[in-house]
Structure 1
Amino acid sequence: MKLRVKIKRVKDVKLPKYAKPGDSGFDLVAAEDTVIWPGETKVVPTGLAFEIPPGYELQVRPRSGMTRNTKLRVVLGTVDSGYRGEVGVLVDNTEIPKVANMQAQVIEKGTRIAQGIIAPVITAHFVEVDELSDSERGDGGFGSTGNK
Structure 2
Amino acid sequence: MTVAISAAVQQLPHGQGLALPAYQSAHAAGLDLLAAVAPDAPLVLAPGTYALVPTGLTLALPPGYEAQVRPRSGLAARHGVTVLNAPGTIDADYRGEIGVLLINHGSQPFTVRRGERIAQMVVARVARVDLTVAASLETTERGSGGFGSTGR
> For the Cα contact (< 8 Å) 2:33–2:120, is it kept in 1?
yes
Query: Which residue identity does 1:27 align to in structure 2?
Result: D
Q: Is 1:4 equivalent to 2:6 in the alignment?
A: yes
Paired-residue identity, %: 42
Moved more, 17-26 or 49-58: 17-26
* Partner residue in 1 for 2:74: 65
Matches within 5 A, 1:11-50: 11-12=15-16, 13-32=18-37, 33-50=42-59
93, 104, 109: which is aligned to 1:93? 104
Q: Following the alignment from structure 1 to structure 2, what is the Cα–Cα distance between the partners of residues 65 and 26?
A: 14
Pair 1:127 & 2:132 matched: yes
Deviation at 1:47, TM superposition (A): 1.1
| In structure 1, C-alpha distance between the alignment counterparts of 2:28 and 2:47, rounded to whole Å | 33
For residues 24 and 145 of structure 1, the distance between their equivalents in structure 2, rounded to whole angstroms, comes to: 28
Matches within 5 A, 1:106-121: 106-121=111-126
Between the aligned partners of 2:69 and 2:33, the Cα distance in structure 1 is 9
> Scaled by the length of structure 2, what TM-score is found?
0.87
Distance 2:24 2:50 in 1: 28
User: 1:42 is paired with a residue of what secondary structure?
Assistant: strand
Give, in whole Å, the separation in 1 of the partners of 2:100 and 2:91.
Answer: 14
**Aligned-pair distance for 1:18?**
1.4
| Closer, same or farther: CA 19–82 of 1 in aligned 2, 3 Å | same
Q: Could you tell me how far apart the structure 2 residues matched to 1:95 and 1:68 are? A: 10
Higher strand share: 1
Give the whole-Å Cα distance in 2 for the aligned partners of 1:47 and 1:82.
Answer: 18
Dislocated runs of 4+, deviation >4 Å: none
Give, in whole Å, the separation in 2 of the partners of 1:66 and 1:72. 5
With normalisation by structure 1, the TM-score equals 0.89
1:42 counterpart letter in structure 2: A
> How many angstroms apart in 2 are the aligned matches of 1:59 and 1:143?
25
Task: Give the distance between the partners of 1:40 and 1:90, measured in 2 at CA.
Answer: 10
Give the match for residue 140 of structure 1: 145
Give aligned pairs, total. Answer: 141
- TM-superposed CA distance for 1:17, in Å, is 1.6
